[in-house]
Structure 1
Amino acid sequence: MLRFATAGESHGEALVALLSGMPAGVPVDETFVARELWRRQQGYGRGGRMRIETDTAHILSGVRHGATIGAPIALTIANRDWKNWEEILPVGAGDPAKHKAVASPRPGHADLPGALKYNFRDARYVLERASARESSARVAAGSLAKLLLRELGVEVLSHVVRVGAVELTRGYQWEEIVSSTARETVLLNCIDPEVEQQMKGEVDRALRTGDTVGGVFEVVAHGVPVGIGTHANWDERLDGLLAQAVMSLQAVKAVELGRGVTAAESMGSTVHDAISYADEANGSGTRFTRERNNAGGIEGGISNGEDVTVRGYLKPISTLRRPLGSVSFESREPVKAAYERSDVCVVPAAGVAAEAMVALTLARLMLEKFGGDSLQETSRNLKSYREQLAAY
């Protein structure tokens, strides 16, 4: 089984990712990993922290001579800001006078429930681990899952469909997402330049008023074969596993598979995707096709050969330059919530982190289905399965 874990704090020395279960022989392009980390740091509305950090994954184990070797992969991402926090957050006892407390919890953040849960007298340690800085370790691990999926004919990308009240309403093609993602300058990662400029206006409005703004990103997995996931058990359904994976990201408050939200208010005849049959197999290996993809590539918890689409609904960041009311941990008197250097809008970055979670989920399920201790074995099994689909 493909498994991963992360460790590290927002202002600690480094973030750590551990990925085990990768088959041997997967080519590892460190330039690709670096670009994925770069993408997570981009987007209009990012804060000062992104001007400090230049994320680079340092691979310690599991990769030799440019390819995986079947052993667990360990990597670190250094926090350049650590030099400013080394005496504030030392591993040893240090000087308590230098501790930088989060003295009043921020509404919408993990501060208060975390402090109550762990019996802390301020929210510093909660903030450090709950911060979305942790998602950079997920992106690093997810980039390796993407490299595996690429060898198996699957690509995973994201784009932004809404920021604040501005929404992309037109349809799109996979090629538009590929083209948008390839841009060297990232604004808000919307495939439509005119809509993107309107989204920028939403961010500017939030910035002027000391506020923050959320939005919606969509992750698309292209080339996923039929049959990933199963209807047989509740905890093995592809849609449920993807929903959990994306919902686990910081600030995501809702997840939508395909046209899940509007389907609830529509008639069945306008929601379900009519099935047809083609002379040739499509990219997923089957001759059965659909003219539309309201199901988001998943039916009954199983991939159906269409693009898998997952939308994440991101709340506005909870750290405000114009703080909301809170209560002092020390005096229990009304105060303004604490302020930590923060972003105004992180929707594009959240989309990149969600790509990583989708890729890790799909890679795990594909390895469970096709097996293989080496890439060659996994690819051979997948090829045989695609031939079975084409001959159905």
Structure 2
Amino acid sequence: MLRFSTAGESHGESLIALVSGMPAGVPIEQEFIDRELWRRQQGYGRGGRMRIERDKAHILSGIRHGKTIGSPIAMSLANNDWKNWTEILPVETGDPEKHKAVASPRPGHADLAGALKYDFPDARYILERASARESAARVAAGAIAKQLLRSIGVEVASHVIRVGKAELDRPATWEEIAALQAKEIVLLNCVDEASEARMKAEVDAVLRTGDTIGGVFEVVIHGLPPGVGTHVNWDERMDGLLAQAVMSLQAVKAVEIGRGVTAAESLGSTVHDAIAYEGTDGFTKFSREQNNAGGLEGGISNGEDVVVRGYLKPISTLRRPLGSVSFETREPVKAAYERSDVCVVPAAGVAAEAMVALAVARLVVEKFGGDSLREMQRNFNGYCEQIRAY
């Protein structure tokens, strides 16, 4: 099974990403990993931390001569801000007087629930791990998964479809979404300039008031054949695995697949995707005129693009804080403030690409198997011939 894990704190020395279960022989480009990390740092409304960090992956193991070797892949991402925190967050006992407590929990953050759970007198250690800084390690791991998927022709990309009340008012094509990944100047990662301008105005409005704003991103999996995932067990369904993967990201409060939300208020005759048999050049000779299902039926990919949306709440740290309570005195105070962002919807989309790629790569490894890429590609190609001849 392909698995990954991360370690590290927001202001610790570094983040760690560990990926195991990768077949041997997968070409890995360092430049691609670093480009993905760069994309996560972009977006209109990001905070001062992004001017400090210059994320690059330092590959420690599992890749030699530009290819995976079958052993676990370990990567570290240095935190440039660590030099300002070495005495505040030492590994050793250090000087307690230099500890920088998070003295009042922030509504919407893990601060209070985490302090209660782990019996901490303040929320510093909760903030350090619960912070979305951790998602950088996920993006590094996801970049490895993306390169595995590319070896069988599967691509993953995202775009922003809403910020606040400003929404993309037309469908986006795969070509438009994929093209966003090559942009060198990233505002809100929207395929439509007029819609992006309205989104930018939403961010500007909350920036002036000291508030934060959320939105919706969409991740698309392109080129996945039908038959990935299964209906036979509840915890093996692809829709459930994707929902968990995206929902696990910081600040994501809802996940939608295909026309999931509006389908609930629609008639079945307008929602379900009629099937035709046309002898097309796709994976099979079956085709659909629309993709309301978002590429998944019964927890199994059906050959259409898989479409997953994440609904991101506004960031919990406000420059104009909400009411809270002092951990020490239990008296009413304003919530603690840590340097933060105003809008992270584009960055969350990049992190969601990574999580989606990791979830799909796991299913691909399970279905097509193989200790080496060549073996997996042989199995994949044989399966595609089988369904094409069905």
Q: TM-score, normalised by structure 1?
A: 0.99
Instruction: Encode CA deviations 1:90-117: one digit per residue, 9 max, x unaligned.
Output: 0000000000000000000000000000
Structure 1's consecutive aligned runs of 4 or more residues displaced over 2 angstroms after TM superposition are none
Matched, 1:381 2:372: no
* Residue 331 of structure 1: aligned partner: 329
- Listed as ranges, the matches of 1:364-375 within 5 Å are 364-375=362-373
Instruction: Give the Cα–Cα distance (whole angstroms) in 1 for the partners of residues 19 and 184 of structure 2.
Output: 29
* Residue 209 of structure 1: aligned partner: 209
SS of the residue corresponding to residue 383 of structure 1 reads helix
- Structure 1 residue aligned with 2:355, among 342, 354, 357? 357
The one-letter amino acid paired with 1:328 is S
Instruction: Encode CA deviations 1:289-324: one digit per residue, 9 max, x unaligned.
Output: 111100000001100000000000000000000000
- Listed as ranges, the matches of 1:1-392 within 5 Å are 1-282=1-282, 285-392=283-390
**1:287 deviation in Å?**
1.4
Instruction: Give the Cα–Cα distance (whole angstroms) in 2 for the partners of residues 33 and 279 of structure 1.
Output: 38
Instruction: Encode CA deviations 1:41-68: one digit per residue, 9 max, x unaligned.
Output: 0000000000000000000000000000
Unaligned runs of 5+ in 1: none
Count of paired positions: 390
**1:145 deviation in Å?**
0.2
SS of the residue corresponding to residue 347 of structure 2 reads helix
* Residue pair 2:245, 2:356 contacting (<8 A) in 1 also: yes
SS of the residue corresponding to residue 93 of structure 1 reads coil
* Residue pair 2:280, 2:287 contacting (<8 A) in 1 also: no
Instruction: Give the Cα–Cα distance (whole angstroms) in 2 for the partners of residues 171 and 49 of structure 1.
Output: 34
- How high is the sequence identity, in percent, across the aligned residues? 77
**1:169 deviation in Å?**
2.2
Instruction: Encode CA deviations 1:315-353: one digit per residue, 9 max, x unaligned.
Output: 000000000000000000000000000000000000000
* Residue pair 1:249, 1:354 contacting (<8 A) in 2 also: yes
* Residue pair 2:280, 2:286 contacting (<8 A) in 1 also: no
Instruction: Give the Cα–Cα distance (whole angstroms) in 2 for the partners of residues 380 and 255 of structure 1.
Output: 34
SS of the residue corresponding to residue 359 of structure 2 reads helix
**1:278 deviation in Å?**
2.1
SS of the residue corresponding to residue 106 of structure 2 reads coil
The one-letter amino acid paired with 1:104 is S
Instruction: Give the Cα–Cα distance (whole angstroms) in 2 for the partners of residues 80 and 88 of structure 1.
Output: 15
**1:171 deviation in Å?**
1.1
The one-letter amino acid paired with 1:356 is A
* Residue pair 1:281, 1:390 contacting (<8 A) in 2 also: no
SS of the residue corresponding to residue 19 of structure 1 reads strand
Instruction: Give the Cα–Cα distance (whole angstroms) in 1 for the partners of residues 341 and 110 of structure 2.
Output: 17
The one-letter amino acid paired with 1:86 is T
Instruction: Give the Cα–Cα distance (whole angstroms) in 2 for the partners of residues 175 and 89 of structure 1.
Output: 46
Instruction: Give the Cα–Cα distance (whole angstroms) in 2 for the partners of residues 171 and 211 of structure 1.
Output: 30
**1:281 deviation in Å?**
3.3
Instruction: Encode CA deviations 1:105-160: one digit per residue, 9 max, x unaligned.
Output: 00000000000000000000000000000000000000000000000110000000
The one-letter amino acid paired with 1:274 is A
Instruction: Give the Cα–Cα distance (whole angstroms) in 2 for the partners of residues 238 and 361 of structure 1.
Output: 8
Instruction: Give the Cα–Cα distance (whole angstroms) in 1 for the partners of residues 93 and 222 of structure 2.
Output: 50
Instruction: Encode CA deviations 1:187-234: one digit per residue, 9 max, x unaligned.
Output: 000000010010000000110000000000000000011011111000
Unaligned runs of 5+ in 2: none
Instruction: Give the Cα–Cα distance (whole angstroms) in 1 for the partners of residues 214 and 379 of structure 2.
Output: 42
**1:181 deviation in Å?**
2.3
Instruction: Encode CA deviations 1:347-368: one digit per residue, 9 max, x unaligned.
Output: 0000000000000000000110
SS of the residue corresponding to residue 177 of structure 1 reads helix
**1:180 deviation in Å?**
2.1
Q: TM-score, normalised by structure 2?
A: 0.99
**1:179 deviation in Å?**
1.7
* Residue pair 1:259, 1:294 contacting (<8 A) in 2 also: yes
The one-letter amino acid paired with 2:355 is M
Instruction: Give the Cα–Cα distance (whole angstroms) in 1 for the partners of residues 78 and 265 of structure 2.
Output: 47
Instruction: Give the Cα–Cα distance (whole angstroms) in 1 for the partners of residues 201 and 316 of structure 2.
Output: 20
Instruction: Encode CA deviations 1:65-102: one digit per residue, 9 max, x unaligned.
Output: 00000000000000000000000000000000000000
* Residue pair 1:4, 1:141 contacting (<8 A) in 2 also: yes
SS of the residue corresponding to residue 317 of structure 1 reads coil
